[in-house]
Amino acid sequence: MSLRLAEEFLTVPVDTIDRCVADVCACATHLGIDATPDVVERIAREHLLAIVNSAPPPRNPR
């Protein structure tokens, strides 16, 4: 799962992706949600999209 997400989110470090997947799994379990691979991957993808979309745009060299 982390490998699939890493291929999709090339700008996010792999350790961040691994941590995100582990956090989603722990959160789902804590909330009593069945942490199936599909559910974990979908939620992790949303979190990673938020990380990518919240990054400031690169600065243009002057």
* pLDDT (tens place) for every residue of the chain, 62 residues total: 999 999 999 999 999 999 999 999 999 999 999 999 999 999 999 999 999 999 787 787 76
Per-residue pLDDT, 59: 80
Residue of 20, 10, 11 whose CA lies nearest to 41? 20
Per-residue pLDDT, 20: 97
Q: Is the pTM of this model over 0.85?
A: no
Per-residue pLDDT, 62: 66
Which residues have a Cβ under 8 Å from the Cβ of 4 and sit 6 or more positions away?
A: 41
